[in-house]
């Protein structure tokens, strides 16, 4: 997953160590792992869950709880920040068995704009919540 990069492995280890020593938050550790894993959110969730289990097994229940809360926040953030991302498509496909339709690049840009800039009363007098 880490492509045998020494720098990435060093960052990965340092992030876990910093969290364990209360020099970093669980969110900070997850952000580092996410970047080390080339922003692969599924791999990040899997790896971080394993790290949480290790902390739990070592008797560091508070740390494990912090990791669980942070990874749930991360999952929500990833889903909300990119509503048409691969993660959301996989989630919907897994839940319903129906894949999302493919969109052209221009249509995808429009949907990204709509999702990131929802209509409001200030900008649209016909807007109804």
Q: How many angstroms separate the Cα of 117 from the Cα of each of 15, 81, 111, 112, 113? A: 34, 12, 10, 8, 6
The pTM (predicted TM-score) of the whole model is 0.59
Distance CA 86, CA 105 (A): 14
Grouping H, G, I as helix, E, B as strand and the rest as coil, residue 48 is helix
pLDDT tier at 3, thresholds 50, 70, 90: low
16 neighbors 32 (Cβ within 8 angstroms): no
Distance CA 45, CA 7 (A): 21
Distance CA 8, CA 47 (A): 14
pLDDT over 60 at 2, yes or no? no
Poorest-confidence range of 9-13, 46-50, 63-67, 87-91? 87-91
């Amino acid at each position: 997953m880490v492509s045998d990069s020494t720098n990435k492995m060093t960052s990965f280890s340092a992030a876990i160590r910093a969290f364990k020593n209360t020099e970093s938050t669980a969110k900070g550790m997850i952000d580092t792992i996410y970047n080390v894993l080339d922003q692969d959110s599924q791999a990040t969730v899997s790896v971080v869950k394993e790290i949480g289990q290790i902390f739990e097994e070592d008797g560091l229940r508070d740390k494990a709880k912090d990791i669980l809360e942070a990874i749930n926040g991360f999952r929500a953030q990833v889903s909300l920040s990119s509503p048409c991302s691969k993660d959301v498509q996989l989630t919907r496909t897994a839940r319903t068995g129906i894949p999302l339709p493919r969109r052209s690049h221009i249509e995808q840009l429009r949907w990204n704009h709509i999702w990131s800039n929802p209509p409001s009363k200030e900008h649209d007098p016909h807007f109804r919540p």
